[in-house]
Amino acid sequence: MSGAGFLQVAAQLSLVMILIGMAVAFFRIAKGPSLADRVVALDMMTVTIISFCGVYAVVMDEPSLLDVAIVLALVGFLATVALARYAERRFERNGREQQHLKDREAEE
């Protein structure tokens, strides 16, 4: 098997595995059950899309797709940080509400 043939087979197998990973991440986003699961699945889907761009750039010999992957990685990182901050504030708010209810019950 020549080098080009091996690269073609490896790229095809990589694309199939990436698509399977993307399907698993999409299932976890849809199914949940918690917000943390969905955030991790969204991050996983971002990473699989970035890897798809990288493999596709190698297969098609199109280096401009690597720029797309870099930008997507930066945006994905910012989205993950923003969602983590939202989840943390939501958790704190729910904890304060539960504490307030416990205090009310103790007063009665």
- Model confidence pLDDT, tens digit, residues 57-105: 999 989 999 999 999 999 999 998 998 888 888 878 877 777 766 777 7
- Give SS3 for 96: helix
The per-residue pLDDT for 37 is 87
Provide the token pair at 90.
């939501």
Return the amino acid letter for 75. Answer: V
Q: What is the pTM of this model?
A: 0.78
pLDDT value, residue 101: 67
Residues 20-68 have pLDDT tens digits of 999 999 999 998 888 888 888 999 999 999 999 999 999 998 999 999 9
Token pair 């750039």 is found at 57
Number of Cβ within 10 Å of residue 29's Cβ equals 16
d(CA 38, CA 45) in angstroms, rounded, equals 10
Q: How confident is the model at residue 14, as a pLDDT?
A: 95
Question: CA-CA distance, 71 to 50, in Å (whole number)?
Answer: 9
Map out the domains of the chain with their CATH numbers: 3-107 (1.10.287)
